[in-house]
Amino acid sequence: MSSPKELDQPAVEPSPVVLNNHAASYKHLMNASSLPNEVPVNRPPHVRKPLRTTLVGKPLSFKELEILRWAVKGKTVWEISQIRAVSPATVKFHLSNIYGKLQVGNRVQAVAEAVKRGLCK
């Protein structure tokens, strides 16, 4: 049986080298000068949204058209998610793609652009 002194001691002492290497692996996130110019300093690279310019000129998918048509009718994200049996996050994802493809910044502009282009019947 172990003595009380042995139970107070950790089984393995953490190595200072491992701790230093671990801290060094995150140093690039704390040093804004190491980030590319187009990355906002207040958001780490893994949180950034993809550039919408990659969607410009691509046609709307069937799902995006359906969601856009519901948006034109005034449905909320939650209502569209219930109609399509998907999560609200999925609807927001499709709306974001719609904004990029139509080169607009929000839902009102997307609806106006859809009506202008005759996308909604």
> How do residues 62-111 score in pLDDT, each as one tens digit?
999 999 999 999 999 999 999 999 999 999 999 999 999 999 999 999 99
- Please give the pLDDT value at position 3: 57
Q: Give domain status of residue 8, yes or no.
A: no
What global pTM score does this model have? 0.56
Q: Which tokens hold the place of 52?
A: 């919408």
CB-CB neighbours of 114 under 10 Å: 20
In this structure, are 23 and 62 located in the same domain?
no
Q: What's the gap between Cα 13 and its chain centre?
A: 39
Return the DSSP state at 32: G
Q: What is the CATH number of the domain that holds 105?
A: 1.10.10.10
1: in domain? no
Host domain of residue 22 = 13-47
Q: What is the C-alpha separation between 32 and 36, in angstroms, rounded?
A: 9
Structure tokens, 114: 């859809």
What are the structure tokens assigned to 94, written together? 């499709």
Query: What would the two tokens of residue 56 be?
Result: 């410009």
N-term to C-term CA, the chain? 81
pLDDT of residue 43: 52
Alpha-carbon span 81 to 67, nearest angstrom = 9
> Which tens digit of pLDDT belongs to each residue from 16-67?
544 445 455 544 444 544 444 444 455 555 555 554 556 677 889 999 999 9
Number of structural domains (the chain) is 2
In the numeric block, which tokens belong to residue 31?
């040093």
